[in-house]
A and B are shown apart, each in its own frame.
Chain A
Amino acid sequence: MRKNNCEEIRRELDELMLDEACSASAVEHLKRCPTCREFYETRTKLRQMVGSLGTVAAPPDFDFRLRARLANDSSSQGFHFWPLARKGLAFAAVLVVFLMGIIVVRNIVNQQTNREVAESKPVVPQPAPKLVAPVAPNTVSPSSELTAGVQPGTAPKNKSERSVTGPRVKRPLATVESASMGAQVISGSRIDSEATAVIPIDASLPSFKFSLDDGSGNARTISVPTVRFGSQRMLPNGHQFAQKGIW
């Protein structure tokens, strides 16, 4: 009970400000209890010592430095692009290195696989693929173009099969001059097969003109200037390597 009392009194003394008077009960207790009195005296002395530290003054140029700092801060405010750009560049560099690494590793693995396959299996001679001559531009449809040059039955079914049969044979290509073909006219979402764009081509004309009709009566004519090459401007009797002035 007495110990509890001492604790309460000490707590009360501890919470007081230095110049604050303690309660009558605390004064009474201090008269009777030497331990609490010693505690009170020590604490008071300690608090006086700590309180004697006082205030340290700021340097005289404090305001000037603060103003300079604020001015510097306001001038450097705004969007800080460089840190973001630096991060972005670093990320891009890492990505590029990673992708290059993948490509290199893949090439090495492919080369090794091809070499192993070539060494392990004899090359079966394949009949030379028939080259299909390019078809006349106006007679070849885009769908037939896709199959041109590919022999039925000889087409490899998958990638592995293709790699087993030996080196790749260059496919003959058929070209389609789509510039001279009538384009499909789309009205709304359906393809209007009747309405076709008429593209009159006359190479002799100085400019390339063609008109488009969208099927609803809206026609538009587009003129493209003729591209002239040096050979067109050459004189009929002129030498190809003639000096300047002949032109």
Chain B
Amino acid sequence: MAVRVQREDFDLGKELAGLTRGNTAIGGVTSFVGLVRDLTDDKGLSAMTLEHYPGMTERMLERIDSEAHDRWPLEATLIVHRYGRMEPGEQIVLVIAASAHRQAAFEACHFLIDWLKTQAPFWKVEEARDGTAEWVEARDSDDDAAARWEK
């Protein structure tokens, strides 16, 4: 299990290979990659900047990761979350879960991204092409998605 918070982009193929290499107990790997989406409104998105709370971010990601390992029989997990300025189409977040069987891998991956979205201290500010910047509002649908995993 590992978490990384970084400015740089990541390579899904490399990360996936690195995580599973040498562990033949793994029978299935599930990954989720979040991308910067262009807003559909007429202003258009020129870029997005992610701010975070260094220290607490790593702490929360480690806790979320550890919670997934408590709930599912996982062989390996990885969370990579970027911060800084990103343009539409760029990768923001990567979650990988590997297990002996697919069900645990699918469920844990889903859990990790849902929980991360409501717990990890990141904030997005969107820059429109006209130069205005707006902080993204938290969405109730994200809370609802995370609530599904509450025990």
| A and B interact | no
| B-to-A contact residues, CB < 8 Å | none
| A-to-B contact residues, CB < 8 Å | none
